[in-house]
Amino acid sequence: MEVRSEIPVISVAGLVSDCLQTRRQTAAELGKACREIGFFYVKDHGIPQNLLSMAFNAAKNLFDMPLDFKNRLSITQSPHNRGYIAMSDEQLNPNAGADTKEAFNIGGDLPGDHPDVIAGKPFRGANFWPELPGWKTHVQEYFAACLGLGRKIHRGFSLDLGLPEGFFEQHLDDPIATLRMLHYPASSNYCEREDGGAETHTDYGNITILATDGVAGLQIRTRGGEWIEAPSISGTLVCNIGDCLMRWTNNTYISTPHRVRPPERERYSIAFFLEVNPDSVVDPSDIFPHQSPEYDPVTCADYLTMRLDATYGHRRQE
């Protein structure tokens, strides 16, 4: 049975077509979704099902481990947003309660002698790798696949915005990117609570690429203020615009509030958050030089630090 949604489903195969007109047509579909609802599904994305399955198996294997095993990999030991986030230790909405979920973050795996690591730059540190068979290899493969897809989608953004097709490439050659595994326990009050799995929030970066296990939970708020479901659609990934890209496009693209309600059944998802290079300056005047900018220029690293401090401030002060 075909699943229908108010969120558009876009084939991104056209972005790699040899025909410029085909690439422009696909880019226009992406741009329309980014302007109107801020979310879209992508199909024909090129990430094989077996790679998705391996990533979900890795997530389940990790979250099934005892708490003391996971706490040895705690994000509290990382200044670079890497590692394990315990249940209820995150507060995506600073004005609400703690989220009922656990998570694990992996970033780009830089060697210890990388200049940025030596210099102690933010978001340029070591990952914490669980000692589980095949875990690191499978997760790195999925990370690389998502990064490739994110770069491809940005070429579509460039075309839609009237920029050179490779505009974002200089900002995505060594980006801040975070692969986040998420586990939501089954909730006995899933019918009563509309929020609480992950509180209402917008994402921080340029784009999020989300894979889900089919269990319902994700909801988005339309520009009219209505909450709608984002159902699981076979063969697709869910994408949404983040606040950083909304800034960069001077509010042309919309970063849409969304939430995860406590699920009826145990739920897993894997989100890939793609920012740009840490030192890239996010300046609306670069994209729309003839518009009055709504935001001041800021580096990606400084902006992300500001947002993470709001989310984890209670933890960082401990």
Share of the chain above pLDDT 70, in %: 89
Place 260 in a pLDDT band, splitting at 50, 70 and 90. confident
61: phi then psi, degrees, rounded to nearest 5: -60, -40
Helices 135-160 and 49-63: crossing angle in degrees, nearest 10, is: 130
Assess whether pLDDT exceeds 80 at residue 238.
yes
pLDDT of residue 73: 96
Place 118 in a pLDDT band, splitting at 50, 70 and 90. confident
Fold type of domain 29-316 = Jelly Rolls (2.60.120)
pTM of the model: 0.91
3-state SS record for 90-144:
CCCCCCCCCCCCEEEEEECCCCCCCHHHHCCCCCCCCCCCCCCCCHHHHHHHHHH
Contact 238, 272 (CB under 8 A): no
Assess whether pLDDT exceeds 50 at residue 32.
yes
In a 3-state reduction of DSSP, which class is residue 247? helix
Place 79 in a pLDDT band, splitting at 50, 70 and 90. confident
Place 157 in a pLDDT band, splitting at 50, 70 and 90. very high
Spans of all domains in the chain = 29-316
Cα separation, 89 vs 178, in Å, equals: 18
Assess whether pLDDT exceeds 60 at residue 179.
yes
Q: Average of pLDDT values for 116-135? A: 89
pLDDT of residue 314: 42
Pair of tokens at residue 156: 């579509």
Torsion sign, CA atoms 200, 205, 209, 212: negative
Largest CA distance in the chain: 56
Paired residues of 210 in beta bridges: 238, 271
Query: Each residue of 265-316: pLDDT tens digit?
Result: 899 999 999 999 999 999 999 999 999 999 999 999 999 988 887 765 544 3
pLDDT of residue 316: 39
Share of the chain above pLDDT 90, in %: 70
Query: Each residue of 185-201: pLDDT tens digit?
Result: 887 554 444 444 567 88
